[in-house]
Amino acid sequence: MNRKMYKMTTKDLNKCQRELRYGTAEMERVEANKSKLGRKYGLRKRDAARRLLKGSPEYVRGLWQGRIDAARGLNYSEERLESAYNMGYHTGYINYASNIHGGLVIPTEYLEA
């Protein structure tokens, strides 16, 4: 079965911009409260960094590509060097089954042969 590549939509790009704003604000809050957080600083910074990665268009592209590959029965493959894309691809591919049970709908244009 051949692979179909995911094309970003304007809705995806708008979501990325929103997540990027939230991630930046969260990172600034963590840095501003570094002394107050104490031992929790590392965990909060990790969560903020992850949110910043989720704001990347490459993360969303990888997330949907992983879901599409899993739906089409293709093998798992990380072909890019970008950490945001690979993290999204991994999340999309691994969580595909639970996402489908949760009501996720993949556009039919990606499922057709």
- Is residue 1 scored above 80 in pLDDT? no
Q: Does residue 70 share a domain with residue 37?
A: no
- Is residue 6 scored above 80 in pLDDT? yes
In a domain, 2, yes or no: no
Q: Does residue 64 share a domain with residue 42?
A: no
Q: Does residue 46 share a domain with residue 14?
A: yes
Q: Does residue 45 share a domain with residue 14?
A: yes
Residues of the chain with pLDDT > 90, as a percent, come to: 57
Q: Does residue 72 share a domain with residue 45?
A: no
Going by the DSSP 8-state scheme, the letter that residue 33 receives in this structure is T
What gap in Å lies between CA 92 and CA 100, rounded to an integer?
11
> Which amino acid type is present at position 43?
L
> Which amino acid type is present at position 112?
E
Q: Does residue 113 share a domain with residue 64?
A: yes
In a domain, 3, yes or no: no
Q: Does residue 75 share a domain with residue 94?
A: yes
What's the number of domains the chain is made of? Answer: 2
Q: Which domain holds residue 76?
A: 58-113
What gap in Å lies between CA 23 and CA 17, rounded to an integer?
10
Whether residue 87 contacts residue 62, with contact meaning beta carbons closer than 8 Å, is answered with yes
Whether residue 86 contacts residue 59, with contact meaning beta carbons closer than 8 Å, is answered with no
Q: What is the pLDDT of residues 8-48, one digit of tens each?
A: 999 999 999 999 999 999 999 999 999 999 999 999 999 99
Residue with tokens 């089409």: 72
Q: Does residue 69 share a domain with residue 34?
A: no
In a domain, 113, yes or no: yes
State pTM to two decimals.
0.82
Q: What is the pLDDT of residues 67-112, one digit of tens each?
A: 999 988 889 987 788 888 999 999 999 999 888 887 777 777 777 7
Residue-level pLDDT at 14: 93
Q: Does residue 79 share a domain with residue 64?
A: yes
